Amino acid sequence: MDVIEEGRSRVILKENGVLNATACDYPGSYTFDDTWSHEKFKKIFSVQIVKWNEREMEFDLIGIHAAIANAFRRLLLSEVPSMAIEKVFVYNNTSLLQDEVLAHRLGLIPLKADPRLFEYRQPGDEDGTEQDTLEFQLKVKCTWNTNAPKDSTNPDDIYKDHKIYTRHMKWLPIGSQGDIYKAKDVGPVHDDILISKMRPGHELDLKLHVVKGIGKDHAKFSPVATAFYRLLPEIILTRDVEDEQAERLQKCFSPGVIGIEESKHGKKKAKVLDARYDTCSRNVFRYEDLKDAVKMGRIKNHFICK
Amino acid sequence: MGEYGNENMVRDWQSDPKKLGNPIKPIEEKWKLVSAFLTVKGLVKQHIDSFNYFVNVEIRKIVKANEKVCSDADPLFYVKYLNVSVGTPDVEEAYNISKSTTPHECRLRDLTYSAPITVDIEYTRGNQRVARNNLLIGRMPIMLRSSNCVLAGKSQFELAKMNECPHDPGGYFIVKGQEKVILIQEQLSRNRMIVEEDRKGGIQCQVTSSTHEKKSRTNVIVKNGKYYLKHNTLQDDIPVAIIFKAMGVVCDQEIVQMIGTEDHIIQRFAPSLEECHKANIFTQNQALRYLGSKTKQKRFFSSAPKKSPVDEARDLLATMVLAHVPVENFNFKMKATYTALMVRRVIQAQGDTKVIDDRDYYGNKRLELAGSLLALMFEDLFKRFNWELKMIADKNIPKIKAAQFDIVKHMRQDQITNGLVHAISTGNWTIKRFKMERHGVTQVLSRLSYISALGMMTRVNSQFEKTRKVSGPRSLQPSQWGMLCPSDTPEGEACGLVKNLALMTHITTEVEEAPIIRLAFNIGVEDVNLLGGEEINSFQVYMVFLNGNILGVIRDYQRLVRIFRMMRRSGYINGFISIYAQHQHRCVYISSDGGRLCRPYIIVDKGKPLVKQQHIHELMQGVRNFQDFLNEGLIEYLDVNEENDSHIALNESYIDPQMTTHLEIEPFTLLGVCAGLVPYPHHNQSPRNTYQCAMGKQAMGAIGYNQRNRIDTLMYNIVYPQAPMVKSRTIELINFDKLPAGQNATVAVMSYSGYDIEDALILNKASIDRGYGRCLVYRNAKTTLKRYANQTYDRILGPLVDAETKKPTWKHDILDADGIAAPGEKAENRQVLVNKSMPTVTLNPINPLQAQPEYRDVPQVYKGPVPSYVEKVMVSSNAEDAFLIKLLLRQTRRPEIGDKFSSRHGQKGVTGLIVEQEDMPFNDQGICPDMIMNPHGFPSRMTVGKLIELLAGKAGLLEGKFHYGTAFGGSKVADVCEELVRHGFNYQGKDFFYSGITGEPLQAYIYSGPVYYQKLKHMVQDKMHARPRGPRAVLTRQPTEGRSREGGLRLGEMERDCLIGYGASMMLVERLMISSDAFNVDVCNQCGLLAYSGWCHSCRSSGSVSTITIPYACKLLFQELQSMNIVPRLTLKNYCD
């Protein structure tokens, strides 16, 4: 790869810093014609989904500029709407948690409700309508367990309802909501999130209003736990690394990145298997004798998004 | 710090075969001994021990010493105290009904946590002899967790029942609901000779004598080559030779023999003898007469028959001069020897300046604790109590009454009660008989955080004046090693004067002297009374001192010291008795007095520490405790003096078989409680640790398990406190991990925007949204409902209802039906919390015709720009039987720009910017820092400990364990790096980050990981202030001052100077007059005085009156001057011409 091409497409990880970190592949910066064209873009651009389940998604975004990839990341974090508890009406709270703290904890509970089916609540609207609000009730009272074994000191045995989980939240449909949604579609994502702990005599009686919002307003509205990407690592061995050095080299990278194969002379020789899952820890630079054998880079337009 | 020394030592041994012994294996987990020490002793054991000693032993001694009260009126009358005891704390609910109380009840109800002092007495009533038992003479405030406290020896569960936190150290008092600490007072040890240089460069020997009755200071000084004795009861300095003669040592030869017969000493002393001869004093009687003529006249004429000057002088010599040296039957031998020794020391110091004592040396210091201070106070009060009884008896016995005179009826208990309560609550210690007056002895226990409370309990206050600019008492003394924390001292004026105890320091209480004297004589000490001057000063003997008094002399001093130490180790004598030989003085000093600092050490015998690995195993198994180590003579306490006479190895590798006598238990114990929080303090620049010690006390966090039951005036808590990722042994020992004050923030060390200069921090908004740095601020509101002399009383009314809407008015919106704000309500500025009203007439009896007394509203109003929530309401009664209503108000605050944070390395900073999560940098793992710190904070501060904390914290996260940053130990950087590598991280702790704004990689690798951050109590919300216009002071009509009064911002003198320099005269007029206190006055141009509404009263004309604008303060000045007969006259000139 020539120097210009390398500068355009790779970040080089040196011992004490990163080379070519900023983009320089703007059209017209070089002698050759590199204007953006739809054709070229179509050819190199691709999205490959690596992993996709209910909680997590990993996909590769290849062939676009960092600014675009970053824009997606930023949008996911802060501008994609989701539903969260916003208003808590405290009718009774004799538990140890202060009203504000309890409300804050409730707000952070992830909910399943699909934000696309709801409107934003109008400013100044206190009560909410069935188009923009879901209502839950949390009404629990901790009591002594009368059937508890006599000598037990385990809180689980001697008290009833002393741990408040998300499963204690009860959905109260407003208007025709009961016909449109099913309870399991709008409830909390997990039903075992601990909200509070109580002791006999403590009581909670709350009404919770769930509204639609965006992450910019409060992190609880962010639909993702986090969204980030990393550049695809690229490891090039610039010389043969053999025997003990090879083993040492292998240890410097994540498992599965460097493989060792028998060379013709019966020597063990290191080779790069798959750099994708390397953590880029740069621990090779600890060894003076291995420093020169490796060139670490990352491909600038290959984003591994999670 | 020790590593290099280590190697040298090892090399030393190898090169020198004689020194080569078997290598000593380090004892593992030796720190468990510290933990064992603390479980036995507790962190504030000094306070509790001293109070226990006072309440159980010393109070008896005091009463015993003042046991008899007689009357001048009746020689047969007497009152004799047979016994005294202090009970357990209770409160008097009604007359003669009392119930046992708990500390927490006292805190809530503003009561004093005190117990009755009862005495058994025997006295005469008429001709009968009567005995009375359990007579109450007063109440003693009880120290928490002392032997008389209800908390003593209780389990966690029992403590919880009493609303008490198991981690609360105790050692303080609760007086009128306030927690008060009697600070440890440091002072020069009493009854010891100190040779020092006075201001003029002369040498003097000073002794401050102190006994239960007397306190006096005696000096031997040099003037013109002659020696004099100086004492505050004597008018002039008395030549020492005359003193000797007055003490019965008449012969000059005897005097010289006592002082010393070395040539240079005789030479120096000769002029003093000559002076005595010149004064024509040869006999004891002559000397006493001379002394008698020099005594100060007593100011008060005592009723006792006047004594002759000779008798008076003899009395004075016996009781006042060197009061601590006993004189029995006017046998002055001991005192003369003592005086001679003082002279001898001065002469020696004149020849050799090295002999001068160091005042700041910690062996010469004694610490006074709550027990001894209270003992002083109690003795004074008890004496006054008895004196008053005597006065009553004197007055009443001659009177003939129907009932027989019964002294018991005249015993008032409130004098002692109030005296003690008043002393503790104000901190003014006034002891009349010593003419002692001290202020600020007690302080309110700071409950800002657990650490601040703990730190206060270990604080040592020096008696030294703060204003004097001398470095000596402030600087770190080498003898403070291990006793006082080298880091924990405030900055500024009290720097070095206020100190803190180290972790393992113990302060001794007094030990009975008699058995020690017997033992010393048995070992072969020869009584000084039986010896002449020549024998005492012989070259072959060492003088033996016990607590500053001469005991005698001994030939084989080494044997004495050895036997004493042996006896101590085997438990025959008290473990806190110290003995050491001072070769320069040729003396052996034995101390058994209270207030000495001491500290446990492992005993080393023939190069082997006596504590073996097996002992530690037994300790961990629980079959052995710290006392066992002491009992078996494996560990002993050394005080500062003895410590300096021992060879103590820092660790096993330093042990030298020939020399070493002791082994340090753990080096980290040389730091105190506050410095113990700092991870890797040995890698930090020393002032940084000192800063952290000050800041740890301002950190918010949990203050105790009972924090939710407390109603304090101000309490800061954080919502989600965390135990630090990098702990230290001290943290575990003091339970900081159970009551933490801070949170582990993921920190990226990089620059970000411009809002991070000057130590400002960048916070992640998402982190704040999720609860980082969120804190609760509790305040209370308090009212009492009193009953007045005229049988009227305060009352509370329900909320005022608006006539139209039938709803409560806005001001009373949050009130419940009972007129007190309801829990859970939001109180806004100027809303009423308690709707109290008070009768207008409280003194005079009210008109009986008037059915209802008139009332005036005195509501308790909430003030504050930010609303609070009512958390709870308490209604109770206080000691005066008035209703007491306390409301607890709460605010929840999330961090905002300007809030102060600090790491544990003295690196404080304010929030400069709060950034959205998407703008924050992120790394390959998707980790986005909670906080960004600018790297410029490091080079000049040199807080390497913080860097290591970050690294160790990061490795700890990955490994799922806590790392240790214990001082002089802790996890090694190399091991930590290895752990990082194992988890696929860079060994330097630097990660590859992407900019959250552009999405591109950052050019540098970012050092990132968790650092424990404390949120400090300084928050913008409590400080921000601005005012467009607002209230003005009544007198001057200028804007008020200060945020609490909504005051203006002052344009001060220096700012004024700037404006003058700039020539902005109109601006000046505007700032200083128009925007402040502009006032229109009429001025008569004829007489120059102020006129009123266009009419000059002095000229009786309106001819030349004109109106001008001047500052109101200026007008006020003119009027005030006029009132002092100074007439300021104004001359007006038209500035146009």
Which residues of B have a CB under 8 Å from any CB of A? 708, 719, 765-766, 769-771, 774, 776, 824, 869, 871, 890, 892, 916-918, 922, 924-926, 928, 981, 984-987, 992, 994, 996-1005
Whether the Cβ atoms of residue A213 and residue A82 lie closer than 8 Å to each other:
yes
* Per-residue tokens: B281: 């004093």
CATH 2.170.120.12-classified regions of chain A: 82-221
Between CA B219 and CA A189 the distance in angstroms is 84
CA angle at B899 for the pair B893 and B679, rounded to the nearest 5°? 105
Q: Reply yes or no on whether the pLDDT at B976 is more than 60.
A: yes
**DSSP 8-state secondary structure symbol assigned to residue B1032:** B
List CB contacts (< 8 A) between B705 and chain A. Answer: none
Among residues 121-160 of chain A, which lie with CB inside 8 Å of chain B? Answer: none
Query: Least CB-CB distance to A220: which of B769, B776, B871?
Result: B769
User: Which stretch of B457-471, B918-932, B1080-1094 has the lowest confidence by average pLDDT?
Assistant: B457-471
Q: Reply yes or no on whether the pLDDT at B385 is more than 60.
A: yes
Q: In sequence order, what are the beta bridge partners of B699?
A: B1016
User: 3-class SS at B693?
Assistant: helix
CATH 3.30.1360.10-classified regions of chain A: 3-75+227-305
What number does CATH give the domain A3-75+227-305? 3.30.1360.10
B678 Cα to chain A: minimum distance (Å)? 29
- Please tell me the predicted confidence (pLDDT) of residue B846: 64
Q: What residue in A sits closest to B868 (Cα-Cα)?
A: A100
The answer to whether the Cβ–Cβ distance between A21 and B771 falls below 8 Å is no
Kindly list the distances between the CA atom of residue B990 and the CA atoms of A20, A161, A234, B649, B757, in Å, as whole numbers in the listed order: 18, 46, 19, 39, 22
From B527, B556, B656, B759, active-site residue:
B759
- A131: CB partners within 8 A, 6+ apart: A118, A119
- The stretch B1065-1073 carries a mean pLDDT of 92
- Please tell me the predicted confidence (pLDDT) of residue B691: 94
Between CA B687 and CA B250 the distance in angstroms is 60
- Please tell me the predicted confidence (pLDDT) of residue A50: 87
Q: Report the topology of domain B193-323.
A: 3.90.1110
The answer to whether the Cβ–Cβ distance between A228 and B926 falls below 8 Å is yes
Phi, psi of B476 (to 5 degrees): -75, 120
User: Which stretch of A39-43, A247-251, B302-306, B835-839 has the lowest confidence by average pLDDT?
Assistant: B302-306
CA angle at B743 for the pair B739 and B745, rounded to the nearest 5°? 160
Between CA B151 and CA B158 the distance in angstroms is 8
Cα-only R_g, chain A: 28
The answer to whether the Cβ–Cβ distance between A22 and B1003 falls below 8 Å is yes
- Mutation target to probe the A interface, by most A beta carbons within 10 A, among B1005, B1007, B1008 is B1005
Which residue is listed with tokens 């709008």? Answer: A186
- Please tell me the predicted confidence (pLDDT) of residue A185: 85
- The stretch A133-139 carries a mean pLDDT of 92
Among residues 56-95 of chain A, which lie with CB inside 8 Å of chain B? Answer: 66-67, 69-71, 73-74, 77-78, 90, 93
Residue B7 confidence class, pLDDT cut points 50, 70, 90: very low
CB atoms within 10 A of CB B111: 23
Whether the Cβ atoms of residue A236 and residue A293 lie closer than 8 Å to each other:
no
Torsion, Cα of B311, B313, B315, B321 (10° steps) = -170
Whether the Cβ atoms of residue B324 and residue B209 lie closer than 8 Å to each other:
yes
Q: Which of B116, B142, B120 lies closest to B60, judged by CA? A: B120
List CB contacts (< 8 A) between A196 and chain B. Answer: none
Which residue is listed with tokens 């909200």? Answer: A195
Report the top-level CATH class of B1043-1123: alpha beta
- Please tell me the predicted confidence (pLDDT) of residue B840: 84
Each residue's pLDDT tens digit, B299-312: 555 555 567 777 87
The answer to whether the Cβ–Cβ distance between B918 and A74 falls below 8 Å is yes
CA angle at B721 for the pair B717 and B726, rounded to the nearest 5°? 135
Say whether domain B678-700+722-774+896-1015 belongs to CATH 3.40.50.1820: no
- Where b means 16+ CB within 10 Å and e means fewer, B827-851 reads bbeebbbbbbbbbeebeeebeeeee
- Please tell me the predicted confidence (pLDDT) of residue B911: 94
CATH homologous superfamily for A82-221? DNA-directed RNA polymerase, insert domain (2.170.120.12)
Edge to edge, what strands does the sheet with B226-231 contain?
Answer: B193-197, B203-210, B215-223, B226-231, B238-239
Query: Least CB-CB distance to A280: which of B769, B987, B992?
Result: B992
- The stretch B245-259 carries a mean pLDDT of 83
Q: Reply yes or no on whether the pLDDT at B10 is more than 70.
A: no
The answer to whether the Cβ–Cβ distance between A96 and B708 falls below 8 Å is yes
- The stretch B702-712 carries a mean pLDDT of 91
A222 Cα to chain B: minimum distance (Å)? 9
Kindly list the distances between the CA atom of residue B495 and the CA atoms of B457, B469, B673, B690, B951, in Å, as whole numbers in the listed order: 18, 11, 18, 10, 33
Each residue's pLDDT tens digit, B141-180: 999 999 999 998 888 899 999 999 999 989 999 999 999 9
Kindly list the distances between the CA atom of residue A47 and the CA atoms of A137, A297, B148, B924, in Å, as whole numbers in the listed order: 43, 21, 77, 19
Each residue's pLDDT tens digit, A233-263: 888 888 888 888 888 888 888 888 888 888 7
Phi, psi of A266 (to 5 degrees): 80, 10
- A108: CB partners within 8 A, 6+ apart: A84, A220, B770, B771
* Per-residue tokens: B338: 């003592």
- B770: CB partners within 8 A, 6+ apart: A108, A219
What number does CATH give the domain B41-186+367-500? 3.90.1100.10
- Please tell me the predicted confidence (pLDDT) of residue B15: 52
Q: Which residue has the higher pLDDT, A153 or B914?
A: B914
Map chain A to HEC letters. CCHHHHHHHEEEECCCCEECCCCCCCCCCCCCCCCCCHHHHHHHCEEEEEEECCCCEEEEEECCCHHHHHHHHHHHHHCCCEEEEEEEEEEEECCCCCHHHHHHHHHCCCECCCHHHCCCCCCCCCCCCCCCCEEEEEEEECEECCCCCCCCCCHHHHEECCEEEHHHEEEECCCCHHHHCCHHHHCECCCCCEEEECCCCCEEEEEEEEEEECCCCCHHHCCCCCCCEEEEEEEEECCCCEHHHHHHHHHHCCCCCEEEEECCCCCEEEEECCCCCCCCCCHHHHCHHHHCCEEEEEEEEEEEEC
Residue B252 confidence class, pLDDT cut points 50, 70, 90: confident
Question: Where do the structural domains in chain B lie, given as residue ranges?
Answer: 41-186+367-500, 193-323, 678-700+722-774+896-1015, 792-846+854-893, 1043-1123
Q: What residue in A sits closest to B987 (Cα-Cα)?
A: A283
A182 Cα to chain B: minimum distance (Å)? 29
Map B925-951 to HEC letters. CCCCCCEEECHHHCCCCCEHHHHHHHH
Q: What is the DSSP string of B787-829?
A: B-TTS-B-EE--PPBPTTT-SB-GGGTTB-TTSBBPTTPEE-T
- The stretch B837-865 carries a mean pLDDT of 80
Q: Chain B contact for A104, CB < 8 A? A: yes
B924 Cα to chain A: minimum distance (Å)? 5
Phi, psi of B972 (to 5 degrees): -80, 145
* Distance between start and end Cα atoms, chain B: 81
Q: Chain B contact for A230, CB < 8 A? A: yes
Q: What residue in B sits closest to A78 (Cα-Cα)?
A: B918
A254 Cα to chain B: minimum distance (Å)? 6
- Could you tell me what percent of chain B has a pLDDT over 90? 39
CATH homologous superfamily for B792-846+854-893? RNA polymerase II, Rpb2 subunit, wall domain (2.40.50.150)
Edge to edge, what strands does the sheet with B868-877 contain?
Answer: B714-718, B775-785, B883-893, B868-877, B826-827
Q: Which of B730, B741, B876, B852 lies closest to B793, judged by CA? A: B852
Provide the phi-psi class of B153: left if phi over 0, else alpha when psi is between -120 and 50, else beta.
Answer: left
Between CA A251 and CA B982 the distance in angstroms is 9
User: 3-class SS at B836?
Assistant: strand
Mean of the per-residue pLDDT values for chain B? 87
Between CA B871 and CA B859 the distance in angstroms is 19
| Whether B236 is catalytic | no
B920 Cα to chain A: minimum distance (Å)? 10
Phi, psi of A163 (to 5 degrees): -115, 125
B708 Cα to chain A: minimum distance (Å)? 8
Between CA B773 and CA A104 the distance in angstroms is 13
List CB contacts (< 8 A) between A231 and chain B. Answer: 1001
Kindly list the distances between the CA atom of residue B975 and the CA atoms of A15, B767, B1068, B1098, in Å, as whole numbers in the listed order: 21, 31, 66, 94
Torsion, Cα of B972, B976, B982, B988 (10° steps) = -120
User: Which stretch of B434-438, B972-976, B986-990, B1090-1094 has the lowest confidence by average pLDDT?
Assistant: B434-438
Q: What residue in A sits closest to B921 (Cα-Cα)?
A: A228
ipTM over 0.85: yes
The answer to whether the Cβ–Cβ distance between A18 and B1004 falls below 8 Å is yes
Q: Which of B118, B148, B146 lies closest to B133, judged by CA? A: B118
The answer to whether the Cβ–Cβ distance between A283 and B928 falls below 8 Å is no
Q: Which residue has the higher pLDDT, B558 or A30?
A: B558
Residue B851 confidence class, pLDDT cut points 50, 70, 90: low
- Please tell me the predicted confidence (pLDDT) of residue B9: 47
**DSSP 8-state secondary structure symbol assigned to residue B729:** H
List CB contacts (< 8 A) between A228 and chain B. Answer: 922, 926, 928, 994
Q: What residue in A sits closest to B995 (Cα-Cα)?
A: A70
Q: Reply yes or no on whether the pLDDT at B5 is more than 50.
A: no
Q: Reply yes or no on whether the pLDDT at B197 is more than 60.
A: yes
Whether the Cβ atoms of residue A180 and residue A188 lie closer than 8 Å to each other:
no
Q: What residue in B sits closest to A304 (Cα-Cα)?
A: B924
Whether the Cβ atoms of residue A144 and residue A177 lie closer than 8 Å to each other:
no
The answer to whether the Cβ–Cβ distance between B999 and A70 falls below 8 Å is yes
Residue B617 confidence class, pLDDT cut points 50, 70, 90: confident
Whether the Cβ atoms of residue B930 and residue B722 lie closer than 8 Å to each other:
no
Q: How far is CA B283 from the centre of its chain?
A: 52
Q: Reply yes or no on whether the pLDDT at B1137 is more than 60.
A: no
Q: Reply yes or no on whether the pLDDT at B696 is more than 80.
A: yes
User: Which stretch of A197-211, B73-87, B710-724, B912-926 has the lowest confidence by average pLDDT?
Assistant: B73-87
